[in-house]
Amino acid sequence: QKEVEQNSGPLSVPEGAIASLNCTYSDRGSQSFFWYRQYSGKSPELIMSIYSNGDKEDGRFTAQLNKASQYVSLLIRDSQPSDSATYLCAVNPLSGSARQLTFGSGTQLTVLP
């Protein structure tokens, strides 16, 4: 079982719709969770971080964390063509501490005009 799993996609949504991206993780003791956006040929850019159960909103982005079910999701409201990118979920596991973030393989999102 992979430590961090994401739907590989690709995911397509029409402009203005809500895009929902999901991520599950295996280390129950994981403490911090991040979503990165990566445009083709570019480096990842942090868009959301979440540390406690519940929802965290930042503009059109909402991160949701459920530690009991071991999943974290990212909702993008009013999706725009500029949101088209690959979204990487990253988890800081309890084991390994400062060693690394563990990344999922990413979900490719396309927002259709």
Partner 1 sequence: DGGITQSPKYLFRKEGQNVTLSCEQNLNHDAMYWYRQDPGQGLRLIYYSQIVNDFQKGDIAEGYSVSREKKESFPLTVTSAQKNPTAFYLCASRPRAAGELFFGEGSRLTVL
Cα dihedral 74→103→108→82 (10° resolution): 60
Q: How far is the CB of 31 from partner 1 (least distance, A)?
A: 6
With respect to partner 1, which residue has the nearer C-beta, 53 or 100? 100
Q: How far is the CB of 53 from partner 1 (least distance, A)?
A: 16
C-alpha dihedral sign at 99, 58, 68, 13: negative
Q: How far is the CB of 38 from partner 1 (least distance, A)?
A: 9
Give the C-alpha separation, 63 to 41, whole Å: 25
Chain residues in the site for partner 1 (CB under 8 A): 31-32, 34, 42-46, 49, 88, 90, 92, 97-101, 103-106
With respect to partner 1, which residue has the nearer C-beta, 71 or 103? 103
How large is the greatest C-alpha to C-alpha distance in the chain, in angstroms?
Answer: 43
